[in-house]
Amino acid sequence: MGMYGMGGVGKTTLLKQINNKFIEERCGSDFVIWVVVSKELHVEKIQNDIAQKIGLDGEDWKQKDKSQKTDVLFKFLRKKRFVLFLDDIWEKVDLTEIGVPFPAPENRCKVVFTTRRQDVCKPMGVEDPMEVKCLAENEAFDLFQKKVGQETLGSDQEIPELARIVSRKCGGLPLALNVIGETMSCKTTYSYDNLKAEDVKSCLLYCAYFQKLTRFVREIDRLLICEDIIDGSKGIERAENKGYEIIGDLVRASLLMEEAEKDGTRRVRMHDVVREMALWIASELGREKEAFIVHAGVGLSEIPKVRIGAL
- Inform me whether the pLDDT recorded for 159 exceeds 60: yes
Tell me, yes or no, whether 124 and 142 share the same domain. Answer: no
pTM, full prediction = 0.62
15 and 86 both lie in a single domain? yes
Question: Do 6 and 127 lie in a common domain?
Answer: yes
Digit-coded pLDDT (tens) for 52-65: 999 998 889 989 99
- Which tens digits make up the pLDDT trace of 2-52? 999 988 888 988 999 999 888 888 777 889 999 999 888 899 999 999 999
CATH number at residue 253: 1.10.10.10
Residues 6+ apart with CB under 8 A from 185: 147, 148, 149, 151, 152
- Claim to verify: residue 259 and residue 164 sit in the same structural domain: no
pLDDT higher than 80, residue 188: no
Cα 101–chain centre separation: 26
> Facing residues of 90 across strands?
none
At 68-112, the pLDDT tens digits run 999 999 999 988 999 999 999 999 999 999 999 988 777 788 999
Q: In one letter, which amino acid is 302?
A: E
| pLDDT higher than threshold 50 for residue 143 | yes
> How much is the pLDDT for 130?
92
**Domain annotation covers residue 127:** yes
- Which residue, 117, 152, 187, sits at the end of a domain? 187
Q: Name the average pLDDT for the chain.
A: 80
Domain of residue 107: give its range: 2-131
Instruction: Supply the CATH number for residue 23's domain.
Output: 3.40.50.300
**Cα-based distances in Å from 92 to 42, 51, 71, 86, 299:** 12, 21, 20, 11, 25
Say how far apart CA 269 and CA 259 lie, in whole Å.
8
**Is residue 305 in some structural domain?**
no
Shared domain check, 120 and 17? yes
pLDDT at 113: 95
- Those residues whose C-beta lies under 8 Å from the C-beta of residue 9, and which sit 6 or more positions away, are 132, 133, 134, 173, 174, 175
Number of separate domains in the chain: 3
Contact 268/259 with Cβ under 8 angstroms? yes
